[in-house]
Chains A and B, each alone.
Chain A
Amino acid sequence: MTTRITPRVEQVRVFDGNRACAYGVLLCKPDLVSCVPITPMTPMVEAVWQYVADGRLDAELVAADGEINALSYCIGASSAGARTFIGTASQGLGYMYEAYLKTAGNRLPVVMALATRENAAPDGVVSSHQDFVTARDAGWIQIVCEGVQEILDTMIMAYRLAEHPEILLPVNVCFDGYYLSYLTERVELPYQEDVDAFLAPLAQYDRPRLCLEDPLTVPTNTREELFAEWRHKHVVAQQKSKKKFEDIEEEYREAFGRSYGGQIEEYYTDDAEIVMVSMGSQTGAIKDVVDSRREKGEKIGAIRIRLFRPYPRERLLEALRGKKAVGVVDRNVIFGWQSGVNFFEIKAAIQDLPENIPVTGFIVGIGGTDCSLEMVERAVDITKLAAEGKPHQEITWLNIE
């Protein structure tokens, strides 16, 4: 079933990321919302609850006594067939980790917004990507946004992706805490009936759910071969979600007139010799540097990883083929490797390319530090050294060296 929607805008507003996310929740009409407020996403919870108080959103609200219970409410409701929403950050995600694993393993299409924040300790209520990258191997789909409009759009696409019968996986919509959650931007709001029409195809799918008429065991207590089978199905569904995500985004572009490049956003990569790879809001600074360097005639491009889990390996290989060097700018660390997560994963992915492309890694923006244009300039200069085969530092912590 395809619905023809002509792109149109109900109104243009100035929203911060939390408000844009809450508005996305409103448009998707979840049956149950379960959140424990935590900085930097508290205003999002307040906005969603206000929508319910004002009678604009007909959802069951749960004021759970802790994040693990908050997500467990979503597990129960989603098992019974409800559409659910939850938001959290940092320590909240840590506290719900056991339920986080179960949501994915049970194949429940819960959508969770994450205003990303640094993990304690050191204690710091500050921006970072550390919270969701730490939970990257839990089996969720994780999408990372760059701007406020994209948060609203991704919320709507997230439900389409999560509830598709070939996917049936929970989706994290991640956006930088502070930089996006509190940053105001121009946001175009779609019409409710257009979003209804966009989500309408989901109504035809009937997934197994808990009910009295046809009792179901969720989850089964499983071991040995059957356990391996369901793990395999989970991994396969995650891989399928890459293509499905791009299909949904293409449909979204036709209906609402906006898209973000699918699994990765490519910025002047076609003729680039050097490509800077990044994730989230800091990509804006990198794009600015790409623009200024291009004016000087340097062949440089940028890639923004949008779909972080599953990792967009094939798209990255396609985009990085034949490049002279890749610089990876991470707002996180991978413990055990003295680098960022994307540095590590891109190193692994491009082993499949014949060219032996040098990769340089940069840690920036952790602990709420800035990712300034000067820092990106330095990162590009170091990556150019790598492209020319000159001695260079492999990992650079831009904020402290």
Chain B
Amino acid sequence: MVQYKSEYEGPWASAKPVLFAYPTADWRAVRPVFNTSRCGHCGICYLQCPVGSVQDRGTYCDVDLSYCKGCGLCARECPNEAIKMVREENK
């Protein structure tokens, strides 16, 4: 007996409350740590992040790690060296 889990007829999902996507946080070996006191709020990391994980907090930026793959682009591009990549435990 076939059992369905999705209410949708096709490969669609409500984007509320969260985008339906792979839990790419699983892939992360290193994570960005934001030193918000060094952040100049220039927005470069916000623009560069391939998965949109960098969050604009009004006067500074930090990261929502839900989908962050730990690619390190933000840390490399930050002109103030406010972001450091830290190894995840057990990875």
Contact = CB atoms under 8 A, between A and B. Distances in A.
12 contacts: A107-B11, A107-B12, A216-B12, A217-B15, A219-B11, A221-B20, A221-B21, A222-B11, A223-B22, A229-B2, A233-B4, A233-B9
A217 B10 contact: no
A215 B16 contact: yes
Given A221-B21, A221-B22, A216 B13 contact: yes
Interface of B: 2, 4-6, 8-16, 19-22
Contact of A106 (B2, B11, B13, B20): B11
Contacts, number: 64
A217 B20 contact: yes
A220 interface: yes
Chain A interface residue number, banded: 20 to 34
A114 B13 CA distance: 32
- Pick the most buried of A217, A226, A230, A234: most chain B CB atoms within 10 A of its CB: A217
A279 B4 CA distance: 37
Contact of B11 (A165, A218, A225, A237): A218
Nearest to B22: A221
A230 B15 contact: no
The 5 A-B pairs of least Cβ separation, nearest first, read: A107-B10, A215-B15, A219-B11, A217-B20, A220-B20
A8 interface: no
A217 B21 contact: yes
A223 B20 CA distance: 12
A237 B16 contact: no
Nearest to B24: A221
A216 B14 contact: yes
Interface of A: 105-107, 165, 168, 208, 214-223, 225-226, 229-230, 232-234, 237
B7 to A, nearest CB: 10
A392 B6 CA distance: 53
A215 B14 contact: yes
- Pick the most buried of B6, B8, B11, B19: most chain A CB atoms within 10 A of its CB: B11
| Chain A, interface SS category | loop
B13 A217 contact: yes
A213 to B, nearest CB: 10
A232 B15 CA distance: 23
A230 B16 contact: no
Contact of A230 (B11, B14, B20, B21): B11
- Pick the most buried of B5, B10, B20, B22: most chain A CB atoms within 10 A of its CB: B10
A226 B5 contact: yes
A229 B12 contact: no
Contacts of B15: 215-217
B2 A232 contact: yes
A223 B26 CA distance: 15
Contacts of B14: 214-217
Contact of A208 (B2, B12, B20, B22): B12
A168 B10 contact: yes
A104 B85 CA distance: 42
A106 B10 contact: yes
A107 B13 contact: no
Contacts of B9: 107, 165, 168, 233, 237
Contacts of A222: 11
- Pick the most buried of B4, B9, B22: most chain A CB atoms within 10 A of its CB: B9
Nearest to A223: B22
A229 B4 contact: yes
B6 A230 contact: yes
A220 B4 contact: no
B16 A220 contact: no
Nearest to B14: A216
